[in-house]
Chain A
């Protein structure tokens, strides 16, 4: 993270890249790192926070071991992303942006992952899988979790 900032000459427009590096290293952005970046790049804390929350890519909370991110872009939404999302919410008792208490699963939503032809698409641990329905999605998540418990 220091290297990223140095490479960019501590310019304020290095903000996104720096946040990127932090997230890669720690999985999420906590207040301490946001403050640190604001200070080092001389950007106001609120501005750093604004950027970090504008892009769905950044997480401000620690992520679970597995991350399931349901595309709610227009195409996927029309093709039933809402149902998939509702099923996961109900099954695991979490809202988008939350992680199960056992730290196994984080649920996220994204707006279009560029796989509209395969709608509805779900991203499982970074891998985009198209043509999903409620059963398939549930099965994949069950696979993760039962694996963890065995």
Chain B
């Protein structure tokens, strides 16, 4: 009788790798030093598969699939860096730039921004789409933090960390499509929120300069994300 093995062997970009069946392609790639871009994924929070930057090709599959959400299968042949994928990824980044206001030169997160890093790493040299010049509300009402929705990439990290780790669920997403915005409570000023504990977790996980500390000068805002893995492990252990 054949025992189903929990260890899978597969190929990523022509390289033979083995992995536990619970692992995602993204995790396996990272263990093997293969770079796949990500934005919505952050270790320690649930997966939502929203940004689509981690799309990969699998031989024999018609669809592109998100690496963060796809598990290893025996004999799978994965490609992470084809021309098609590079094109799509660049296009996603360009669309994010065109949809929001991302003028790095005046941003407190300049130099510490995941969107800026991805743009450089994926070789975005210009944006092919016209900028939509959004005029979205900036919320300065919190005593320590600022929310600038013009820089938000809707990754929902703030929503997840506040719900899953802090347990406050101050954030959520209002509307849909191009009208989607992050909101606090019933779309009230953040400073008036009754649920926010001012813990600062959302500030630290926000990949861009959309949620930052007050009083920072250009390029001065650095974020720490290491707390997240630690906290989520501790929460898990208590269950």
A residues with a Cβ closer than 8 A to B are: 31, 34-35, 44-50, 53-54
- In the complex with contacts A31-B186, A34-B186, A46-B175 CB distance below 8 A: no
Contacts of A48 in B (CB 8 A): 186
Other than A44-B195, A49-B174, give 12 A-B pairs with Cβ distance below 8 A: A31-B186, A44-B163, A44-B169, A46-B169, A46-B170, A46-B171, A46-B195, A49-B183, A50-B172, A50-B174, A53-B175, A53-B176
Shortest C-beta distance, A144 to chain B (Å), equals 28
Most buried by B among A31, A45, A46, A48: A46
Q: How far is it, in angstroms, between the C-alpha of A41 and the C-alpha of B186 when the chains are bound?
A: 15
Give A101 to B175 CA distance when docked, in angstroms: 25
Q: Could you say which of B175, B176, B185 has the most chain A C-beta atoms within 10 Å of its C-beta?
A: B185
Contact of A49 among B163, B168, B172, B176 (CB under 8 A): B172
Choose one: A35, A44, A47, A49; the contact of B187 (CB below 8 Å): A49
> When chains A and B are docked, how far (Å) is the Cα of A45 from the Cα of B174?
12
- Expressed in whole angstroms, the Cα–Cα distance for A107 and B171 within the complex equals 29
23 contacts between A and B (CB under 8 A): A34-B186, A44-B169, A44-B172, A44-B185, A45-B185, A45-B186, A45-B195, A46-B169, A46-B171, A46-B172, A46-B183, A46-B184, A46-B185, A46-B186, A47-B169, A49-B174, A49-B186, A49-B187, A50-B172, A50-B173, A53-B174, A53-B175, A53-B176
A54 — which chain B residues lie within 8 A by C-beta?
A: 173, 175-176
A44 to B174 CA separation, bound complex (whole angstroms): 13
The 6 closest A-B pairs by CB, nearest first: A44-B169, A46-B172, A50-B172, A45-B185, A53-B174, A49-B186
Q: Across the interface, which residues of A come within 8 angstroms of B184, CB to CB? A: 46
> Is there contact, CB below 8 Å, between A50 and B163?
no
Interchain Cβ contacts within 8 Å, total number: 41
Query: Shortest distance in angstroms between B136's beta carbon and chain A's nearest beta carbon?
Result: 15
Kindly list chain A residues whose C-beta atoms are within 8 Å of the C-beta of B176: 53-54
**Min distance, Cβ A147 to any Cβ of chain B, angstroms:** 34
Contacting residues, chain A, for B171 (C-beta < 8 A): 46
Q: Using a CB–CB distance below 8 Å, which chain B residues touch chain A? A: 163, 168-176, 183-187, 195
Bound CA–CA A72/B168 (angstroms): 37
* Closest beta carbon of chain A to B151's beta carbon, Å: 20
B232 to chain A, nearest CB (A): 19
* Complex CA distance for A49 and B186, rounded to whole angstroms: 6
A34 to chain B, nearest CB (A): 6
Residues in B whose Cβ lies below 8 Å from that of A34: 186
Query: In the complex, how many angstroms separate the beta carbon of A72 from the nearest chain B beta carbon?
Result: 12
Minimum CB–CB distance for B238 against chain A, Å: 21
A150 to B186, CA, bound (A): 41
A53 to B176, CA, bound (A): 8
Would you call B172 and A35 a contact (CB within 8 A)? no
In whole angstroms, what is the CA distance A49 to B175 when docked?
Answer: 9
Residues of B within 8 A of A50 (CB): 172-174, 183
**How far in angstroms is the closest Cβ of chain A from B76?**
35
- In the assembled complex, the Cα of A39 lies from the Cα of B225 at a distance in Å of 32
Nearest neighbor of B168 in chain A, beta-carbon distance: A44
Residues of B within 8 A of A45 (CB): 185-186, 195
Bound: A105/B67 CA distance, A: 49
A46, chain B: closest CB distance, angstroms: 4
On chain A, the residues within 8 Å of B172 by CB distance are 44, 46-47, 49-50
